[in-house]
Amino acid sequence: MKILVTGAAGLVGSHVARRLAREHEVQALKHGELDITDRAAVRRCLLHEKPALIFNCAVLQVDDSEQQPAQAQAVNVAGPGFLAETASEVGAEIVHFSTQYAFDGEPVGRLPYTIHNEPRPVNNYGRTKVAGEAAVLAACARSYIVRTSWVYGSGKNSFLCTVHNDLKAGKRVRAIDDIWSSTTSVDDLIERVMTIRATGRYGIYHVVNGGICSYYGFALEAGRSLGLTRGQIDPLIEIIHERDMKRLAARPRYTPLRCLLSERLGLPPMRDWRAALAEYVGTG
């Protein structure tokens, strides 16, 4: 199958491109190669390539979306719409990633969010991502919207991606203990998305590993997976609080996800986050 990946230098995009190239003809386009906010360029590219499946992995991140609202609208809403409308024209399916930031994260301790929960974003990233979902759904009937959360994998310099290496090297890390969510191994995310895609059941999915943790809980578990004791881990982790962080964009506090459509399709639950993290820590 011919698959086109946008935002292919990012965390999800680079892994999607690498993983799917084992079995498919993949065209991985970085930002410099296809700017999804350029409608004419999107049309030219898709009409020429005629992919069977598009993965939109391009995004403007959380604080940037707060600071640059026009760019957030362009990358997170208009661009996905251009991809979806042209997908429709060339008969392609589209996988568009979205986020747990669709939700407000209150109250702490609530049941995991399902597709029946009304989105209520607390920042501009979340608002534009929710609008982007709607733009894709409106423009292409053959679309999969995949909301995911706290994704980690090799190659990105983010807390979730690198905390195990810092602990292994004996470096001190700072970990937030007052926001919680589902976490997602990028490998598990891709496998599940391809399983979903094989069902041909279009719609909105929540794809995450099982269970809930805070960044602090994630760091502790990464340390345990490395074989470190609490006596070794505790001096390496400085606990900090989201409420003390001076961030541009507010973060929702408690956003675990649950996938009703996967359950309806009879797909097995995604493995627990600790098992996925242990495998990741073991491989790098």
Ligand X SMILES: NC(=O)c1ccc[n+]([C@@H]2O[C@H](COP(=O)([O-])OP(=O)(O)OC[C@H]3O[C@@H](n4cnc5c(N)ncnc54)[C@H](OP(=O)(O)O)[C@@H]3O)[C@@H](O)[C@H]2O)c1
Which parts of this chain interact with ligand X (CB under 6 A)? 6-7, 9-13, 31, 34-37, 57-61, 75, 79, 97-99, 129, 148-151, 156
Nearest C-alpha neighbor of 55 from the set 115, 136, 128, 150: 136
Least CB distance to ligand X at residue 84 (A): 13
Whole-angstrom distance between the N-terminal and C-terminal Cα of the chain? Answer: 31
Give whichever of 61 and 165 is closer to ligand X, judged by the CB atom. Answer: 61
Q: Do the beta carbons of residue 152 and residue 161 sit within 8 Å?
A: yes
DSSP 8-state secondary structure symbol assigned to residue 96? E
Distance between CA atoms of 183 and 260, rounded to whole angstroms? 17
Give whichever of 51 and 79 is closer to ligand X, judged by the CB atom. Answer: 79
The helix/strand/coil state of 146 is strand
Give whichever of 97 and 144 is closer to ligand X, judged by the CB atom. Answer: 97
Least CB distance to ligand X at residue 235 (A): 28
Least CB distance to ligand X at residue 28 (A): 11
Q: Beta strand 184-185 with 151-152: parallel, antiparallel or unpaired? A: parallel
Q: Is the peptide bond before 107 cis (omega within 30 degrees of 0)?
A: yes
Q: Do the beta carbons of residue 258 and residue 188 sit within 8 Å?
A: no
Selecting among 113, 125, 205, 254, the annotated active-site residue is 125
Q: Which residues pair with 98 in a beta bridge?
A: 147
Least CB distance to ligand X at residue 78 (A): 9
Least CB distance to ligand X at residue 179 (A): 13
Give whichever of 230 and 247 is closer to ligand X, judged by the CB atom. Answer: 247
- Distances in whole angstroms, Cα of residue 208 to Cα of each of 95, 128, 227, 255: 16, 21, 25, 11
By Cβ distance, which residue is nearest to ligand X? 10
Residue 216 falls in the annotated catalytic set: no
Q: Do the beta carbons of residue 135 and residue 81 sit within 8 Å?
A: yes
Distance between CA atoms of 278 and 281, rounded to whole angstroms? 5
Q: Which residues pair with 173 in a beta bridge?
A: 237
C-beta atoms surrounding 252 within 10 Å: 23
Give whichever of 68 and 88 is closer to ligand X, judged by the CB atom. Answer: 68
Give whichever of 57 and 137 is closer to ligand X, judged by the CB atom. Answer: 57
Least CB distance to ligand X at residue 90 (A): 19
Cα angle 141, 144, 149 (rounded to 5 degrees) comes to 150
Residues classed as catalytic: 125
